[in-house]
């Protein structure tokens, strides 16, 4: 069975440019997470979806970040405009409903120049 798929794996952009990350969770997983991980730190939750509904987006910088999960499957995380401080690894994870285990994708490493 395929795991969580993310693309692209790497992205280099200049500041003020937009960028989007895509995530395809494990089939049947209703819960989807987006995390940001800075170097040497643990993953920081940005947003959590239960099906199509964003149930926790308290840590999402809403002035420049947006996310969507249409049809409760794939999800896209967007940053517009990107800032230097947005350079990080963006991780997507999914889990089955009411289960504790999260399955993570390989992440997208974003570099903002």
The least CB distance from residue 66 to another protein, in Å, is 22
For another protein, the binding residues (CB under 8 A) are 4, 31, 35, 40-45, 48, 50, 56, 91, 93, 95, 98-107
If the CB atoms of residues 24 and 107 are measured against another protein, the closer one turns out to be 107
If the CB atoms of residues 17 and 30 are measured against another protein, the closer one turns out to be 30
Q: Phi and psi (nearest 5°) for 86?
A: -85, -5
Q: Where are the beta strands (DSSP E) in the chain?
A: 5-7, 10-13, 19-24, 31-37, 44-50, 53-56, 65-68, 75-79, 88-95, 103-104, 108-112
The least CB distance from residue 42 to another protein, in Å, is 4
């Amino acid at each position: 069975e395929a795991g969580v798929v993310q693309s692209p794996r790497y992205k280099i952009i200049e500041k003020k440019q937009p960028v989007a990350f895509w995530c395809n969770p494990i089939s049947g997983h209703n819960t989807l997470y987006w995390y940001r991980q800075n170097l040497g730190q643990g993953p920081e939750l940005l947003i959590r979806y239960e099906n199509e509904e964003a149930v926790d987006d308290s840590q999402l910088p809403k002035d420049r970040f947006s996310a969507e999960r249409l049809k409760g499957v794939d999800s896209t995380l967007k940053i517009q405009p990107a800032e230097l401080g947005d350079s990080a690894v963006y991780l997507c994870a999914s889990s089955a409903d009411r289960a504790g285990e999260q399955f993570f994708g390989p992440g997208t490493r974003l570099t903002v120049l």
